[in-house]
A = this chain, B = another copy of it.
């Protein structure tokens, strides 16, 4: 058996980074008066999308999305618009306020993450390439 279990080390590192990232995100969400799940959903609403897509992005049950969108709707950030082609689906569309909130959220999130990942340009490039490879599966 390998004396140096590098894989486990890597997993621990990734989990630590993940934890910090999550805390940072939840903090900025809270600053903007958003619960974590609603904030996360907001980041995915780049363009109008069916609720189904959101469910897949968030890897959760459709009924869960209903609740999250209810929250966003109550806050006046999104509206549910009927699809012209399929009367079952509802498109989620950001309101003006929703657009603004999304922009703020993105800015703050990127700022905070950038702060965490402040590395020399060369190493940032390395990191990007490695992660791209990981996701390429």
Contacts and interface: CB of A to CB of B under 8 A. Distances in A.
Interface of A: 6-11, 13-23, 59, 109-110, 113-114, 116-117, 119, 121, 123-128, 130-135
Given A7-B117, A18-B21, A21-B18, A13 B131 contact: yes
Q: Main SS of the interface on chain A?
A: helix
A55 to B, nearest CB: 13
**Chain copies in the assembly?**
2
A134 B119 contact: yes
Given A18-B18, A22-B18, A126-B126, A7 B114 contact: yes
B126 A14 contact: no
B7 A109 contact: no
